[in-house]
Amino acid sequence: MSHHHITLTVNGRPHKSQVPARLTLVDFLRDVLLLTGTHTGCEHGVCGACSILLNGKPVRSCLIFAVQADGMDIVTVEGLAPEPETLSILQDCFWETHALQCGFCTPGMLIAVRALLAENHSPSEEQIREGIGGNLCRCTGYKPIVDAILLAAERMRRSNAGASDATAG
Amino acid sequence: MRPPAEPARNFRYISKKRRTKEDRRFITGAGHFVADISLPGMLHVALVASPHPFAQIISIDAQAALALEGVKAVLTGEELARATDPLMSGLDIPKVRRYPLAVGLARYVGEWVAAVVAESRHVAEDAAELVEVTYEPLTPVLDPEAAMAADAPIVHPDHGTNVLFQRKFTWGAVEADFAAADRTLCFRARWNRSSTVPIETFGVVAMWHPATRLMDIWASIQMPKFPDLLARALRLPGNAVRVHFDVDVGGSYGVKRGLKHSVLAGYLARKLGRPVRLIEDRIENMRGGDAHGPDRIFDMGVAFDESGVIRSLRIRALDNVGAHAGRAPFQLGKPVGAIVGPYRIGSVEYEAISVTTNMTPQEAVRGFGQAPTNFALETTVDRVAHALNMDRIEVRRRNLIHHEEFPYTIPSGSTYDSGDYHVVLDKALATAGYQDLLRRRDATRAGGKLAGVGIVCCLEPSGGNASFEPLFNPKNETTTWMEACGIRIDLNGTIIATMGTSSSGQGHETLVATVIGEILERDPDTIRVIHSDSLTALPSNSPVGSRMAIMLGGAAAKAADKLKHAITAIGAHRLGVAADAVIYRDGDIALAQDPTRKIAWDTIVEIAHRKFHQLPPGMEPGLQSMHVLDVPTGGSLPTADGRVQMYPCYAFEAHIVYAEIDPITGQVALRKYVVGHDCGTMINPDIVHGMTCGGIAHGIGAALYERFAYDENGQLLSGSFMDYLIPSAHEVPDIEIVDHCTPSPHTAFGQKGSGEAGYLGAPAAVASAVNDALSPHGLNVATLP
């Protein structure tokens, strides 16, 4: 099996690696970079648990190979907080409304919402449901997630931080 | 019995909106899930699955697989069955043997036939495709009624029949009640096969330490007595298996009971001398993970009067458990504890039949059989209303048990603790704007669409006593399902609480910290709650049967009470007065007469830890306590006619849902959803509300989208998320919850269980709405989904 050199940026840090051609991006992130916050739920692109930002766009990291991410910029759940031991406004709002239970879908959900709020600073409930429609959650029935997103959007607007999703208080 | 707690009881932390202790690690990606565990030298398992629903295994040729670089072993069922004991079965059916890998016969599509172990998951999967299995296909049996026929293929030939359990219970004067009733009707209702299908599949990591003869297990497990069962199957002493309960479980809702996975991984870890990891991929989870849910045919008969009063029920429930039994047949047993739902129905006949077929085995699903039963009961009530041309709500009101009738004993022997059903229903109707909803429905109908309102009243039995075990298996004399909590206050004055089970999103750390904080008057945020391992843990029966608020919360409360006594005794002794002359405030002990004279928490802690000379004479040093709680109202075996106190507490739900149906595509859209919910005192409202919404979403899936469908040849047609449809944010409407609190007299704070909330009524409510929408056209559907 062929191996390939790749160079990419993950959560602001550059990485160089040699990977087998068939290694998926999610396995690369989890097994090589040990960023285990990104989860695999279905490995066929439906559940969204493995969502990451690839050059700013939310993608399913189980559906692309690590070699395809060569030269790209990646953000995972570990990169959402502005600094270690702090939370982004979005994360803080998920905590405040208890927008999760088991926490397994949460990293992918946060990524999807980060992408949504970067494009739309005041989404309606319908737009929110559209934005997270590709991320399955089995615990919450989505309501507390929708509440968290509405709250986060409002707080981000008020903090004048807009889409940059600055740190929570 | 203790007097009922006051509904308006003034709590400091309980019932307050407070952030959970668990969420922070999950929102930062720092959860500790089983797939995150990576050990040096760890090997990976891939499975070879049967493509046949029923077949003789003639031979297994592993040569090509073993020749692949990185492959360490190929394990067959024959070898594993020689080295391990069969997996437990709840029923007394010794000849229905179950092993992690098929032995001789493959009994369903997806059953594991061989396991391949390799240096990486990729290599293991490559090698699994090289294992050549020769089968002699047999004729399968798939339909549960066909499975009972005399000439049916027998799934377990040694057992001699496909019937695993069959018993007809008669509680009360059923025949007389049917004869005396003005009217009777009967119909068939079908609950098709779905499950909880967590987003995280099941996984396990096993590691054997030869020097200490100890098996370490990390698993995404939610299973009563898992460590004991695992040790027995592996033929190891109980204290040679250490299950780590600090693994975060990525959703379970009942099904994460990977005993077979863990026996397999444990055996391989010992055999190969290396840590072994087995993580299901999605198809393994859906097909061979043995985690399907109830698959049930109800034949319902009901006797009722022109007044709308329901006198008696005849229920025949035939359940297809699939190819193996496990605990699944008990899912016909738990509903005995709420067999008349929230209604005053004087007599019941209940025939429960569990059959085996060539389908994936069933596992415990949220509610343990109660959701299908509630669907059958509520469909019955709707049919009675329809037959009498009476309002569906009025029929319910006439039959609901009244607030002043509690405690209320139903014909099958369980006593409901408390409730205020009429009020909760009225509150839900008011919040839903029921009359407006009817007007909206009628307007939508006038516009050419189908529209309907669904109404459901149902119960959530909670507290998790396992009385269905002796009810269905007289050799099993289980009369308690205890739960425990330990608490320690360290030298620095901080509190550490220990629980003996893993969690799958229920917020147990928050529960325990809140309860202890309430009693010891310390901020719950400062209390650390540890999921211990099975060797250091106190007894637990895991978070099943909506039991943890009652059982773990109750054990934590009792353990905290003991500490409070100890702290009080130390403080009083230091003040030179009797214990009844002091008051406990925020952990300090003050003279009742003069609260300015007090001994501070830190001082008491220091006395307990190192000033033995200042301790009351004979008192144990340190500050630690434990409590093992028996299930309230438990302790009795069933009577000869099968009456038993099943669960201690009964929560009530009233669901109101408004649905519109596109007449061309048949697509159902839920436009409004309101649920009135009374689970007594809520320890943490956000947690209760979250689980309730999640349960409703799950119930909507079971009603409209989710089905493990098989073709006539026994092939599973929905083994991925492309065809097994889990509701997304599009399908689940906004859900409005109307709280009500009728405290339970049996629990520390009046709490009842709520882990199965929502799911127990949502499928029936959606069905009720769809049938209301179809009723102008003379149609009725009694099949889910």
Q: Are B159 and B96 in contact (CB under 8 A)?
A: yes
Collect all residues of chain A within an 8 Å Cβ-Cβ radius of residue B734.
125, 143, 146
Rounded CA-CA distance B105/B78 in Å is 11
- Please tell me the predicted confidence (pLDDT) of residue A129: 98
The 10s digit of each residue's pLDDT in B329-365 is 999 999 999 999 999 999 999 999 999 999 999 999 9
**What radius of gyration do chain A's Cα atoms show?**
16
∠ CA A18-A24-A26, rounded to 5°: 105
Q: What is the pLDDT of residues B505-556, one digit of tens each?
A: 999 999 999 999 999 999 999 999 999 999 998 999 999 999 999 999 999 9
DSSP 3-state assignment of B317? strand
- Distance, CA of B199 to CA of A109 (rounded, Å): 12
Q: Which site among B16, B24, B26 would you substitute to test the A interface, given the most A Cβ atoms closer than 10 Å to its Cβ?
A: B26
Beta strands in B402-441 (DSSP E): 408-409, 415-416
Contact B686 A97 (CB under 8 A): yes
pLDDT range class, residue A6, cuts 50, 70, 90: very high
Residue B3 pLDDT more than 60?
no
Helix (H, G, I), strand (E, B) or coil at B208: strand
Q: Write out pLDDT tens, residues B712-722.
A: 999 999 999 99
Residue pair B215/B206 in contact (Cβ under 8 Å)? The answer is: yes
Question: Are B721 and A35 in contact (CB < 8 Å)?
Answer: no
pLDDT per residue as tens digits for the range B547-589:
999 999 999 999 999 999 999 999 999 999 999 999 999 999 9
Please state, in angstroms and rounded to a whole number, the distance separating the CA atoms of residues B457 and B343: 9
3-class SS letters over chain A: CCEEEEEEEECCEEEEEEEECCCEHHHHHHHHCCCCCCCCCCCCCCCCCCEEEECCEEEECCCCEHHHHCCCEEECHHHCCCCCCCCEHHHHHHHHCCCCCCCCCHHHHHHHHHHHHHHCCCCCHHHHHHHCCCCCCCCCCCHHHHHHHHHHHHHHHHCCCHHHCCECC
Q: Which of B287, B294, B230, B296 is nearest to B257 (CA)?
A: B230
- DSSP run (H or E) holding B116: strand B112-118
pLDDT at B2 over 70: no
Contact flag B35-A40 (C-beta cutoff 8 Å): yes
B8 confidence band (pLDDT: 50, 70, 90)? low
Average pLDDT over residues B292-312: 98
- Burial label for B560, CB within 10 Å (0-12, 13-18, 19+), is buried
* Average pLDDT across chain B, whole number: 97
Strands (E), B541-698: 582-585, 588-591, 598-599, 623-629, 649-661, 668-678
Task: Count CA atoms within 13 Å of residue B294 on its CB side.
Answer: 34
The backbone torsions φ and ψ at residue B586, rounded to the nearest 5 degrees and listed phi first, read 55, 25
Question: What angle, rounded to 10 degrees, do the helices at B548-575 and B601-610 form?
Answer: 90
What local confidence, expressed as pLDDT, does residue B465 receive? 83
The answer to whether B192 and B225 have CB atoms below 8 angstroms apart is no
Question: Alpha-carbon distance B140 to B152, whole Å?
Answer: 9
Residue B343 to residues A88, A133, B305, B391, B459, Cα–Cα distance (Å): 50, 39, 15, 16, 10
Taking alpha carbons only, the member of B294, B283, B357 closest to residue B723 is B283
Task: Please indicate whether, in this complex, the C-beta atoms of B29 and A46 are within 8 angstroms of each other.
Answer: no
CA distances from B732 to A99, A118, A147, B690 (A): 15, 25, 14, 14
Residues B37-94: tens digit of each pLDDT:
999 999 999 999 999 999 999 999 999 999 999 999 999 999 999 999 999 999 999 9
User: Could you tell me how far CA A98 lies from the centroid of its own chain?
Assistant: 18
What is the spatial distance between Cα B122 and Cα A20, in angstroms, rounded to a whole number?
11
Q: What pLDDT is stored for residue A105 in this prediction?
A: 98
Nearest Cα of chain B lies from the Cα of A22 at a distance, in angstroms, of 9
pLDDT value at position A1?
73
pLDDT of residue B4: 43
Q: Tens digit of pLDDT for each residue in B684-713?
A: 999 999 999 999 999 999 999 999 999 999
pLDDT at residue B41, rounded to an integer: 97
Q: Does the beta carbon of A42 lie under 8 angstroms from any beta carbon of chain B? A: yes
Q: What is the mean pLDDT of residues B422-436?
A: 98
- Residue whose pair of structure tokens reads 């066909």 in the numeric block: B146
Q: What is the ipTM of this complex?
A: 0.96
Which residues in chain A touch residue B196, judged by CB atoms under 8 angstroms apart?
138
The helix/strand/coil state of B420 is coil
Question: If you average pLDDT over residues A51-63, what whole number do you get?
Answer: 98
**A38 near B CB under 8 A:** yes
Tally the C-alpha atoms within 13 A of residue B89's C-alpha that lie toward its C-beta. 22
> In this prediction, what percent of chain B has a pLDDT beyond 90?
98
Q: Is the peptide bond before B275 cis (omega within 30 degrees of 0)?
A: no
Q: Determine contact, residues B534/B499, Cβ cutoff 8 Å.
A: no
Is there a contact between A95 and B23 if contact means CB atoms under 8 Å apart? yes
What pLDDT, in 10s, does the model give residues B131-178?
999 999 999 999 999 999 999 999 999 999 999 999 999 999 999 999
Give residue-wise pLDDT tens across range B183-216. Answer: 999 999 999 999 999 999 999 999 999 999 999 9
Of the candidates B422, B440, B443, B442, the residue with the CA atom closest to the CA atom of residue B432: B440
Q: Which residue among A81, A101, A110 sits closest to B694, beta carbon to beta carbon?
A: A101
Residues of A in contact with B506 (CB under 8 A): 101
Neighbouring residues of A100: CB distance < 8 A, sequence distance ≥ 6: A94, A106, A109, A137, A139, A140, A144, A145, B23, B26, B27, B505
Q: What is the mean pLDDT of residues A58-71?
A: 98
- Pick from A30, A63, A104, A127 the residue to mutate for testing the B interface (most B CBs within 10 Å): A104
Q: Which of A35, A91, A135 sits opposite B27 (nearest CB)?
A: A91
| Phi, psi angles (nearest 5°) of residue B93 | -135, 70
Residues of chain A numbered 58-97 and touching chain B (CB < 8 Å): 76-78, 80-81, 87, 91, 94-97
For the cut 60, the answer to whether the pLDDT of residue B396 exceeds it is: yes
Strand partners, B43: B276
